[in-house]
Amino acid sequence: MTVYAKATKSSGPIFHGRVQTIATLNSDLSIGRVISQDPIPDSLTLCNGCNENMAEGYLVYLSKANLKANRPYDYYCQECLDRYFPKAQKVK
């Protein structure tokens, strides 16, 4: 399996307009009642490995299809990318 990493600044559009949603789940795992939705500041971009707020990092994609559809797995700093995905193929 090839993992792809794309350098991305935290000011990029992918980080704009995010919300954190707390909701109940139905027995079929569909969303039930939404309890709250809180905006996430555009400037808050945490590394999934070390939880540091970063100005620039890497979006990690676990497949070529996810890369083409721009569905990243998560966001990592350089150090954590090297630690957890040492063979990641960097793309533009």
**pLDDT, tens digit, for every residue of 13-24?**
999 999 999 999
List the domain boundaries for the chain.
4-91
Q: Which residue type, as a one-letter code, is found at position 55? A: A
pLDDT in tens, 47-67: 999 999 999 999 999 999 999
Those residues whose C-beta lies under 8 Å from the C-beta of residue 69, and which sit 6 or more positions away, are none
Give dist(CA 92, CA 5) in Å, integer. 9
Q: Which CA distances in Å does 2 have to 27, 56, 68, 82, 89?
A: 35, 22, 14, 15, 7
β-strand partners of 60: 5, 74
pLDDT digits (tens, 9 = 90+) for 25-41: 999 999 899 999 999 99
DSSP E strand stretches across 2-70 = 4-9, 19-25, 31-39, 56-61
Q: What pLDDT shows up at residue 2?
A: 94
